[in-house]
Amino acid sequence: MSSLHTLTGAIYLLQIFGSAFLAILFLQSGIDKIIDHRGNLEWLKGHFAKSQLAGVVPVLLTAITILEVAAGALSAIGCIILIVSRETTLAFYGAVISAVALIALFFGQRMAEGYAGAAVLVPYFLLALVAIYLLAQ
């Protein structure tokens, strides 16, 4: 095992931390949407009430829940595999699905004219892009 105090070691740590962060972010969010489905659905119906997406909120909630759980699970399992064997494939796909989920969330916020909520997503999206780049190594 090479030293962590090298460029290769630093990239390895960035891969682990990025994957762990995305795992925590999306597993927590996705599991919350499953556990409190009714509360999330009611909030989202109100949030999208004046948008073109108002009629499809239940379908969108299901889709984003699936994306978030998939992104979190792939990132979590990928992070563990990365630590054990330095294999990046699963973590890479976790980061890709994370970026897709964030694009979907960003689209929804923009459609609902939730500009502050959309702006909050930008750092997460940038992290996902950096993780994709680092995990493609």
Tens of pLDDT, residue by residue over 50-77, are 999 999 999 999 999 999 999 999 999 9
Note whether 70 and 28 are within 8 A (CB): no
What confidence score (pLDDT) does residue 1 get?
58
Sorted by sequence, the CB contacts under 8 Å of residue 88 that are 6+ apart come out as 15, 78, 82, 135, 136, 137
Percentage of the chain lying above the pLDDT 90 cut: 97
Question: Which of 26, 14, 23, 25 is CA-nearest to residue 133?
Answer: 14
Q: What is the pTM of this model?
A: 0.95
The candidate with the shortest Cα–Cα distance to 73, out of 99, 95, 100, is 95
The pLDDT of residue 2 is above 90:
no
pLDDT reading at 4 higher than 80: yes
Long-range CB contacts (within 8 A, 24+) of 31-36: 31/69, 31/72, 33/61, 33/64, 33/65, 33/68, 34/65, 34/69
Residue 21 CA to residue 1 CA, distance in Å, equals 24
**Spatial separation of the C-alpha atoms in residues 94 and 14, rounded to whole Å:** 15
For 113: left if phi > 0, alpha if psi spans -120 to 50, otherwise beta; the answer is left
